[in-house]
Amino acid sequence: MSAFALDVGTADFTQVVIEGSYTQLVLVDFWAEWCGPCKVLKPLLEQLAEEYQGQFVLAKVDSEKHPAVAEKYGVRSIPSVMAFIDGERVDGFTGALPEGEIRAFLTRMLPSEADQLLRHAIELRVAGDPISALKTLVAAAEVAPDNENIRIEAADILLDQGQIDKARGLIDSLSPALRQEDRLKPLLNKLRFSDQKTGNEDELLARIAHDPNDHDARIALANLYIAQRRYEDGMNALLASIAADRSWNDGLARKTLLEAFCLTDVAPLVPTYRRKLASLLN
């Protein structure tokens, strides 16, 4: 059996197809022994999987032996081929297409050079090497200067490094339509908190100790903590302000806390702090 063309069934579909598609394109070929066109298409797909040497994985599912998988993905006729990327079915075709059309389909599905560089940059960042990640993103931008996803990732790294003006320049260069999308909220909120990284922690704590109703100091302290990635400290400061006066400045502390909830790094803490916020407001 080829390393690039695997027989897959109900037991290992999730591992091979869904989980596997987070690292490379996975094509699923639903076939059956009695299907004439399948006997033409399947060996062609196997040949292409070997030729492309790991650029994609071919998962072959016998729809007669594994009807639950075929039913789950709405297979009505075979052969039926589906493409999976990042855990989602993104495209597909039915029938034994000619080789040229299949190659064109693969060209559309496979990541471009810029996409590969972007993925590598993300891997470098996750591995704790943001400098190399930024260099890789520069190379990606040279290949695809109009790719806004590259600018989004670069801006996020620059904010982590405290290079706020450079990050803002990249964010400002994004199309107005993209900036309205929900997926930009974490980055835009991250920029806002980075902009609020002002004041001295000791001075702000002293102001609050002198006057517990100094909500300007509480909000400033929360913004400072969150900009420093001290998320729990920041959200606790906001909860303290809400507890003292939830309506101060048109509920600014609550609005700031909701903005913090949108930050990507805060996601694991959100359920806990949503409950804390609810208990204060109810």
Please list the active-site residues.
35, 38
Nearest Cα to Cα of residue 30 among 58, 1, 2? 58
Rounded to the nearest 10 degrees, the angle between the axes of helix 215-227 and helix 201-210 is 150
How many angstroms separate the CA atoms of 25 and 47, rounded? 16
> Is the peptide bond prior to 130 cis by the omega test (within 30 degrees of 0)?
no
* Contact (CB, 8 A) for 244 and 213: yes
Nearest Cα to Cα of residue 255 among 275, 233, 271, 277? 277
Q: Collect contacts of 126-129 with beta carbons under 8 A, ≥24 apart.
A: none
Alpha helix (H) ranges present in the chain? Answer: 13, 36-52, 67-72, 99-109, 113-126, 130-143, 148-160, 164-172, 176-179, 185-195, 201-210, 215-227, 231-244, 248-261, 270-281
Rg (CA), the chain: 25
